[in-house]
Amino acid sequence: MQHGDPEATQAGRIEIDPATGLARGLRQVLSPHRDARPAGLQPELIVVHGISLPPGRFGGSWIDRLFCGNLPSEADPYFATIQGLRVSAHALVRRDGAVVQFVPFHARAWHAGVSEWNGRSACNDFSIGIELEGTDIDAYEDAQYTSMARLVRALRSTYPGLGPDRLVGHDQIAPGRKTDPGVSFDWARLRRLVAT
């Protein structure tokens, strides 16, 4: 299911409807790979991921199809190795800066896996997962940093528990198991942009 205008917020401010958890104007491809957060929990952490499908290649609809559970195993040899994987993220920032939303921000996306942050396990329960189309070693694009900063600002204004210290990489909540968003990700740059 797709909604929204992919160009609408590329140069403007992103606004999130707290009642629906949806960002106005973003392209939405709603994933079935989600459920409700445990009672009383609100987003308190933003987890930055990196993804490319097939690995090292950009563009196309493969990430959308993975998150929606209809990735064709015969389309690439790698896809057969992840057949049946049930994962999602709240949003994806593509190489050109376009943002796609897959899960309402107040719902639980299945992005973190086995994870821990500040002594709390099961990070999916209290986090928002944002994927950047990229790899651990390829530089991320200027447009991705700009869009990511807009999205983080919108999330912080909607969910008060997302303070400045609540922005981490997948590698930080699943060390030894995950390496994304990788050494190519410029954390200082993102934090500067979020602050402006």
- Please give the pLDDT value at position 1: 44
Q: Considering Cα of 132, then 170, then 114, then 166, what sign does the dihedral take?
A: negative
Q: Give me the catalytic one of 7, 44, 74, 131.
A: 131
d(CA 5, CA 136): 29
- Please give the pLDDT value at position 11: 54
- Please give the pLDDT value at position 193: 96
Angle between helices 142-158 and 187-195 (to 10 degrees): 50
- Please give the pLDDT value at position 13: 87
Structure-block tokens of residue 136 = 């651990």
The residue assigned the tokens 């998150």 is 67
d(CA 122, CA 60): 31
- Please give the pLDDT value at position 25: 86
- Looking only at the bridges linking them, the beta strands covering 91-93 and 99-101 are antiparallel
CATH among 1.10.540.10, 3.40.80.10, 3.50.50.60, 3.40.630.30 for 2-195:
3.40.80.10
Structural domain spans, the chain: 2-195
Structure-block tokens of residue 57 = 């290649």
Residues recorded for the chain? 196
Chain center to CA of 75: 24
Whether 131 is catalytic is yes
| pLDDT per 10-residue tile (average), the chain, 196 residues | 41 89 95 97 97 97 98 97 96 98 98 97 98 97 98 96 95 97 97 93
